[in-house]
Structure 1
Amino acid sequence: MNNNLAIPEIKIKCLRLAKEVSDILNEVGYIYCPANMMASNPEYCLSLKEWKNTFTKWIYEPGENEILMCSIFFDMRPIYGHYKLAEELIEKIHMLLQSQEIFLHFMANNVLNNPPPFSFFRNLILEKSGENKDCFDIKLRAMLPLIDSARILYLDKKIPFASNTVKRFISLADDEPNNAELYNMAADAYQILMHFRVTQGIKSGNNGRYILPEKLSKMERLQLRNALQPIDEIQKLIRIRYVPGNL
């Protein structure tokens, strides 16, 4: 999109392409978002000017929905076309965050609200009812806490742009030698969790989000537990840095 408001013809072409891509992704296992947060949603087919205005509103008037939207769209990355448009928008986002630092504290509270993977007695917390009863939700309880943590720590550093969770942790490790070991552990953990989800999805013929621990080998269960270890330490770090009582 150019700097002017998107004209109908451009929107039609972009949305047609977005639907085709979404359909293909759904066929290979990246299922449609139930909340319709996809490129095929006309609400997200905007011009650069419209996106700048949208992010300004989200960051300066943060509510639960605005924080959720930022958490999603802060992970954007250009893949084709005029990269400078995306770079200009990313620069705008960093400027907004610098002038509205309290927004990161709102995001931190959201990160700390992620449900933990372990119970008080260090057992995996499994689904208690429904079709996924006795399964472990690897997306909600393992991957999402790492994704959200990497995002807020990375945005606060204002270091070179990366939208990938692993790359964010690696960049943070380079920027913070004192916490490098923890960040590298988190990067490794996320890759292991991704591998778990993909392999379990292939075995189950679904998206691999829900894992039945009893079907894992002893080695796989150990690998899974080890991959979950950095989550608590990362969240402690975020609590110290961003929770108001620790400011």
Structure 2
Amino acid sequence: MRNYWSLLPAVLVIMGLILVYAIPTIINPQWTSSIMALFRTTSMPDDATPEEARQAAGVLSPQQLKSRRMLAISLVVGALALVGFNVSLNREANGCYQAARAFGAIDGPDTKDPCIEMIYGTFMGDGSRAPTEKSQQPVKYYQRVDGKKPKYLKWIQNAPKYDEVDLLFGTVGKCASDLSVQQLEDKIMVVVDVDAPCPEDSSMSVTPIKLKKPLGDRKIVTVDDEPVTEINPDMDSWFTVLKKLATGG
């Protein structure tokens, strides 16, 4: 299972550096300069000028105080930007992972890069084919896109456009081209048109379906008129991500 633990070492190191150097420097650059002066090993000559004595003691001029403070502020901004960038990438990967798992994908080789390999828009087949096999396999899950616009769709390969899809049906990649969606007057019938169950896989293909008319009270069913389960996976909110970072979840 993916989580945000992988970011914690980098976050702790960055925040530690900020706390040790940048924050005290922003408050009073003279503090850090005086502390660093304690570790200097070069001796001051006997004929040193007052200015050289000030520098050896770590006393900063007004211009140096300003420049040190600006540098510290830049470090804080850069560190926060780096953390935000890494959290953003991890948030996207986790969103794709959660969506793939919700549609039925299992952990496997494709888990390493969820938005590229674990879940993607169907490349072959659009679900419009009529079933031809004597027996078909059930489809377990669907997701409504109309009005909800799940954010993970922005990051997957071959993603459908929000205004061109109403429903998403997930099938393992090897069976995606065998998906059959029949839009009937009283129901939406969805099956995988193969005579043997599709093997579990870590690769999940989602097929977008544009309804010819509003769903209304029509049920979405599969083999033997069993209802297809509606799911609603999406990316974690930033608040949730930060909470998981803080708790290691």
Task: Please give the TM-score of this superposition, normalised by the length of structure 1.
Answer: 0.20
Give 1 or 2 for the bigger CA radius of gyration.
Answer: 2
- Which has the larger share of strand? 2
- Of the two structures, which has the highest relative contact order with CA contacts closer than 8 Å and spacing of 6 or more? 2
- Which has the larger share of helix? 1
